[in-house]
Amino acid sequence: MKVTDVICHVLQSKVEQPFTSARGWLYTTRASCIVEIRTDEGITGWGECYGPAAVNRTIIETQYRSRVIGRDPFDVEVVWEDLYNRIKDYGLTGMTIAALSGIDIALWDIIGRALGKPIHKLIGGAHRTEVQAYATGLYFVDMDRLVEEAVEEAQEYAEQGFRAIKMKIGLGDPKLDLRRVKAVRETIGPDVKLAVDANHCFTVPQAIRLGRAMEEHDILWFEEPISPEDHDGYVEVTRALDMAVAGGENDFTRWGFRDVIARKAMDIVQPDVCAAGGISECRKIAAIASAHGVECVPHAWGSAIGLAATVQFLAALPDTPPAFRPMPPMLEFEQTPNPLRDQLAKDPIVQRQGIVRVPDGPGLGIEIDHAILNQYKVA
Ligand SMILES: [Mg+2]
């Protein structure tokens, strides 16, 4: 089998109720670069790149596309090394790797479709056939109702059956953050897990101080307390707090994660399959994490394709550590309204009582709705 074409689709949808996080970007649109790879056997695979879609598309079209056409999709890691070698001299991190991730996922989708097997059966097998999902939400929308809106949204997720929720913090006022976290914890009760995500807005002393104050609210993990470049700072925060510290959604490749993991700068690493190098590379990152006793719980924030790829990867992740009643890695199921996530697959991934069934169809286990693809395509 040979690749005959690599096509990028830039999809974009409008966000009806713009929201922000501690980063301060106002999300008014959601966009994704979707990668379609065609073959001479009529099998088509789909992938997705995290981050600025127009940049991903340019990198693929100018740097990668011609090197993928003519290749055998089963040589997926050979292709990965070749593409990486093409760009490594010019800056390694970020968007070039996200673009490579989209190609890698699409090639795995093709392999699965060719063999009639879901991807997780090709990368080690099913450690689980369903995953527990946590709801990511509780962004900042109405600046006059920051506590009230968080309480209402958390209540909705609990009523929908989610057993775990991740909320945003980082309001520029630790007392307000604490008030919001306390209100959410009181609303959802002691049995729903609660993680917090600061999107790297704190200094080391700020993060340690707020982290200690949040500990009484039984926080599952403190995500991105400080800037991702500051590995020494992560070591300090992680050692200082009893709660788990997480991060890694903006780290890339096995080399990017190697030092973070080996130094145990975080308790939980969160590679994104659409950003950190695709399924091939995230398996390597997970293996490094496993060797160091660090948990790997992938980040996910994209369309139905990225979500499906994440579920396939998660299904094949071993429990860390294995146990009589293990605490398996959870699926990040982002809940802000996004038609690219909810409508792009004819058979979308859904949660029931906080549980997501791992699709067992070939490849990613989803079928793309071409009408939706065309409806949201802007380039
Ligand atoms: Mg995050």
- Give the pLDDT confidence score for residue 320 in this predicted structure: 85
Residue 317 placed within a domain: yes
Domain match, 103 and 182 both: no
Name 224's Cβ contacts closer than 8 Å, sequence gap at least 6: 197, 198, 199, 200, 246, 247, 249
Q: How far is the CA of 366 from the centre of ligand 1 (A)?
A: 25
On average, the pLDDT of the chain sits at: 97
Domain match, 189 and 127 both: yes
- The 10s digit of each residue's pLDDT in 92-110 is 689 999 999 999 999 999 9
Residue 344 placed within a domain: yes
Q: How far is the CA of 51 from the centre of ligand 1 (A)?
A: 13
Domain match, 132 and 10 both: no
Q: How far is the CA of 66 from the centre of ligand 1 (A)?
A: 34
pLDDT grade, residue 332 (50/70/90)? very high
pLDDT grade, residue 12 (50/70/90)? very high
- The 10s digit of each residue's pLDDT in 24-79 is 889 999 999 999 999 999 999 999 999 999 999 999 999 999 999 999 999 999 99
Residue 219 is part of which domain span? Answer: 121-357
Within 161-292, residue ranges assigned H as helices are: 174-188, 204-214, 231-240, 253-262, 278-291
Q: How far is the CA of 249 from the centre of ligand 1 (A)?
A: 6
Cα 173 to Cα 129, 176, 316: the distances in Å are 42, 5, 40
Q: What does R_g of the chain's alpha carbons equal in angstroms?
A: 20
- The 10s digit of each residue's pLDDT in 131-150 is 999 999 999 999 999 999 99
Q: How many CB atoms lie within 10 A of CB 52?
A: 15
- The 10s digit of each residue's pLDDT in 253-264 is 999 999 999 999
Q: Tokens standing for 216?
A: 């009484």
- Give the pLDDT confidence score for residue 276 in this predicted structure: 98
- Give the pLDDT confidence score for residue 322 in this predicted structure: 87
Domain match, 273 and 153 both: yes
- The 10s digit of each residue's pLDDT in 151-172 is 999 999 999 999 999 999 999 9
Residue 364 placed within a domain: no
In our burial notation (b when 16+ CB lie closer than 10 A, e otherwise), range 150-183 reads: bbebbeebbeeebbbbbbbbbbeebeebbebbeb
Residue 239 placed within a domain: yes
Cα 156 to Cα 23, 135, 151, 167, 351: the distances in Å are 25, 10, 9, 13, 14
Domain match, 90 and 169 both: no
Domain match, 102 and 139 both: no
pLDDT grade, residue 230 (50/70/90)? very high
Residue 169 placed within a domain: yes
- Give the pLDDT confidence score for residue 274 in this predicted structure: 98
Q: How far is the CA of 5 from the centre of ligand 1 (A)?
A: 34
Residue where a domain stops, chosen among 66, 96, 116? 116
Neighbours of ion ligand 1 (CB under 5 A): 197, 223
Q: How far is the CA of 14 from the centre of ligand 1 (A)?
A: 21
Q: How far is the CA of 206 from the centre of ligand 1 (A)?
A: 18
Residues of the chain above pLDDT 70, percent: 100
- Give the pLDDT confidence score for residue 59 in this predicted structure: 97
Residue 367 placed within a domain: no
Domain match, 55 and 108 both: yes
- Give the pLDDT confidence score for residue 91 in this predicted structure: 77
Residue 375 placed within a domain: no
Question: Taking residues 223-232, what's their average pLDDT?
Answer: 97
Domain match, 82 and 47 both: yes
- Give the pLDDT confidence score for residue 292 in this predicted structure: 96
Domain match, 102 and 16 both: yes
- Give the pLDDT confidence score for residue 92 in this predicted structure: 67
Q: How far is the CA of 138 from the centre of ligand 1 (A)?
A: 12
Domain match, 251 and 151 both: yes
Residue where a domain stops, chosen among 73, 95, 116? 116
Taking Cα atoms as reference points, which of 20, 121, 39, 46 lies closest to residue 307? 46
- Give the pLDDT confidence score for residue 93 in this predicted structure: 80
Secondary element (H or E) of residue 121: helix 119-122
Q: Give me the CATH number covering residue 34.
A: 3.30.390.10
Number of domains in the chain: 2
- Give the pLDDT confidence score for residue 45 in this predicted structure: 98
Q: Tokens standing for 202?
A: 């704190």
Q: Give me the CATH number covering residue 142.
A: 3.20.20.120
Question: Taking residues 186-192, what's their average pLDDT?
Answer: 98
Residue 33 placed within a domain: yes
Domain match, 184 and 96 both: no
Residue where a domain stops, chosen among 62, 91, 116? 116
Active-site residues: which are they?
299
Domain match, 189 and 95 both: no
- The 10s digit of each residue's pLDDT in 335-370 is 999 999 999 999 999 999 999 999 999 999 999 999
